[in-house]
Structure 1
Amino acid sequence: MRHSIRNVLGLAAASAVIAVGLPAVASSASAATATKTASASSYDYDDYWGYYYSKYYDGSRAKAKGHVYEDEDGDFHVEGKLYDKYSPGWLCGYVQVKFEDEDGDESTYWAKKCGSSGYRYFHFSSSDVDSIQVRTCYWSNHHGAKKYCGRWNYIYETDGE
């Protein structure tokens, strides 16, 4: 009887030590991660976006993800990867990036990826930016036009200062 009581008390003491010590370890680990993340970025604006998808075509969708940041000169950069998985040969993955300035003038850039092996890297930049949007589509080689576009997604907007 004494052995089972001793075992129960020992197990309770070990559980209490783990319960008290575990949150302290977890909070110090998350604090270290937050410090590392904050110090790794020297940009005024720095964020990741995506995945953003095209509309479905026959069970497949193109997708894109990436990174937007402002450099030391105030230029905004959008870079990312475009994937075209399992689409028919006449469709290609297609991503559009739209930069807009405070006057409403827009500049739109695009990248295309055909075939399901790997991805296509893209990088666009612009200065005097008020907002940036991204959308993913398919490009029809038969029609020479974009098809099955997903919605525009804001990846950057000024604060309106």
Structure 2
Amino acid sequence: MFKKIATGFLAVAATSALALSLPSAASASTASHPSYDDYSDYWGPDYAQYHLAKAQGYVSVSYDDDESNSAYVRGRLWDLDNRSYDEGGKCAYVKFQAEDFDNDWSTVYTKKYCGYPGYKKFSFSTDDVYSLRVKVCQVSPSGYYVNKCGPWDEIYSAE
């Protein structure tokens, strides 16, 4: 009888300790991803030509002052091409470009994923962004030949 009470007490203590540790673990994970609250929205899904690759995710932007901001993007990239590489199958590829406040575009992030039918998570941040756009393509397994791109999709604009 005493053994059952002791076991029950230990189970309650272990559960309580776990419950108390969860909020601190949650706050630790949000500390690695700062709180962006000036703008946030979901983007996508965006597709490559013939819908053989897909990407979608979330963008959030926080302003320090009028023309200084930080954008954080996270998402998933799907390889939807079920053909083997010998049959002409390709990998999924996503490209992000940012426009600065001088109206100059530059590539800020790219990701390749080969792994039908799965997906790969990604995230990145960039600073001083006026606009941010995404394009999904396919790429050869070697990564040298990007093609079959879908259209650009603007996922954030300061306007």
> Aligned equivalents of 1:97 and 1:80: distance in 2?
12
**Residue deviations 1:74-103, cap 9 Å, x none?**
310111000002333431000011111011
Shift of 1:105: 2.6
Counterpart of 2:52?
A: 61
Percent identity, aligned pairs only, is: 41
| Paired letter, 1:70 | V
The number of residues matched between the two structures is 116
In the superposition, relative to structure 1, how do residues 69 and 42 fare at CA in structure 2: closer, same or farther (>3 Å)? closer
Which of the pair is proportionally richer in strand?
2
Shift of 1:72: 6.3
Are 2:92 and 2:137, in contact at CA under 8 Å, matched by a contact in 1?
A: yes
Aligned 1:10-159 pairs, distance under 5 A: 43-56=37-50, 61-71=52-62, 73=64, 74-90=69-85, 91-108=90-107, 109-141=109-141, 144-159=144-159
Q: Report the TM-score, using the length of structure 2 for normalisation.
A: 0.66
Q: SS of the residue aligned with 1:75? A: strand
CA RMSD, 1 decimal: 2.0
> Aligned equivalents of 1:106 and 1:118: distance in 2?
31
> Aligned equivalents of 1:88 and 1:144: distance in 2?
19
Are 1:53 and 1:63, in contact at CA under 8 Å, matched by a contact in 2?
A: yes
> Aligned equivalents of 2:158 and 2:63: distance in 1?
17
Q: Larger radius of gyration, structure 1 or 2?
A: 1
Q: Report the TM-score, using the length of structure 1 for normalisation.
A: 0.65
**Residue deviations 1:25-62, cap 9 Å, x none?**
xxxxxxxxxxxxxxxx8610000011100001xxx510
> Aligned equivalents of 2:152 and 2:53: distance in 1?
14
Are 1:43 and 1:69, in contact at CA under 8 Å, matched by a contact in 2?
A: yes
Shift of 1:125: 1.2
| Paired letter, 2:77 | L
Counterpart of 1:21?
A: none
Q: Which sections of structure 1, spanning at least 5 residues, go unmatched? A: 1-40
> Aligned equivalents of 2:143 and 2:111: distance in 1?
17
Are 1:63 and 1:83, in contact at CA under 8 Å, matched by a contact in 2?
A: yes
